[in-house]
Structures are given as C-alpha cells and as structure tokens.
C-alpha cells in the first residue's frame, strides 16, 4: 500500500493524469466553456508565472508554452470552474505548479495512458502542438 500511494502522489503521475484527462475533455468543451476557461487560464498563468503584464502579453506567452503545461493549467482552471472530467471516477490531481518539468515525464505519461486504456478502454496521448488560446 505504501508504494502504491507514493506512486499515485508523485508529481509526474499527477501532472500526467491531469494532462491526459484534459486532453480527452478538450473536444467536448462548448464555446462558452472555452471562453470561461480562457479567462481563468490567463489569470492562473499570470499568478504562477508572476507576470505583471497585461492579459494580452500573458496570452502570447501562454500560447508559446508546451502543451503538457497548458493542459495542467487548464486542469486547474477546470477544477476552479467546476467543469466535469470525461470520467466520473476521475478527479483533477493536486499539483504544486502546472509548469513543473516532472509533469512532462514520458514514463509517467505512458503509465497513465495504460491505466486509462485498461480502466476505460480509451487511448489518449498528448498532441504535439501547443494550444492556441487566441481561437478560444
């Protein structure tokens, strides 16, 4: 039990879980949800990056951020706004920073992807390109 609980509380596992669950949720978001998420994501981005700049500057930086980190900040925004995840039994995992490099750990991504395939029968992987929040 100790090993499993430590594994499930690893930053890489938590960040990978959040990223993959949000990747699955993205196609299901409505235009209204995307608009609300965009505003909250910009606020969170400015908070976590200690940015003094305007929202437009934060948006430019956010659009250039690697997708895994964008997905983790989206996870925090979805949790704040109370948006559901694709699976009722799943929840947004606690992470200290959406920009922690551990969240991009390939081994954790594969482990979480295998778990989601085994539990729910879905295959998911993070797309290569960054999200362009300009179109939201």
Distance CA 21, CA 68 (A): 11
Convert the pLDDT of each residue in 51-72 to its tens digit: 667 888 888 999 999 999 999 9
* CA 83 to chain CA centroid, nearest Å: 13
Residue 50's pLDDT is what?
A: 63
For the packed helices 106-120 and 11-25, what is the interaxial angle rounded to 10 degrees? 50
Tokens 């295998």 sit at which residue? 114
Domains identified in the chain, total number = 1
Kindly tell me if the per-residue pLDDT of 15 is higher than 80: yes
Structure tokens belonging to residue 113: 């992807």
Convert the pLDDT of each residue in 67-109 to its tens digit: 999 999 999 999 999 999 999 999 999 988 888 888 888 989 9
Tokens 């608009």 sit at which residue? 35
**Do 15 and 92 touch, CB atoms closer than 8 A?**
no
**Do 37 and 86 touch, CB atoms closer than 8 A?**
no
Residue 2's pLDDT is what?
A: 47
- Domain holding 67, by residue range, is 2-135
The SS3 assignment for 121 reads: coil
Distance CA 98, CA 80 (A): 14
Convert the pLDDT of each residue in 22-43 to its tens digit: 999 999 999 999 999 999 999 9
**Do 69 and 132 touch, CB atoms closer than 8 A?**
no
């Amino acid at each position: 039990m100790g090993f499993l609980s430590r594994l499930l509380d690893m930053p890489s596992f938590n960040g990978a879980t959040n990223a993959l669950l949000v990747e699955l949720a993205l196609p299901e978001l409505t235009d209204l949800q995307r608009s609300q998420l965009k505003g909250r994501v910009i606020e969170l981005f400015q908070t976590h990056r200690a940015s003094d700049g305007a929202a437009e500057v934060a948006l430019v930086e956010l659009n250039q951020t690697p997708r895994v980190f964008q997905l983790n900040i989206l996870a925090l925004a979805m949790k704040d706004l109370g948006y559901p995840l694709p699976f009722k039994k799943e929840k947004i995992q606690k992470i200290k920073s959406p920009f922690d490099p551990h969240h991009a750990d390939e081994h954790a991504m594969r482990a979480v992807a295998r778990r989601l395939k085994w539990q729910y029968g879905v295959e998911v992987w993070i797309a290569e390109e960054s999200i362009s929040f300009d179109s939201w």
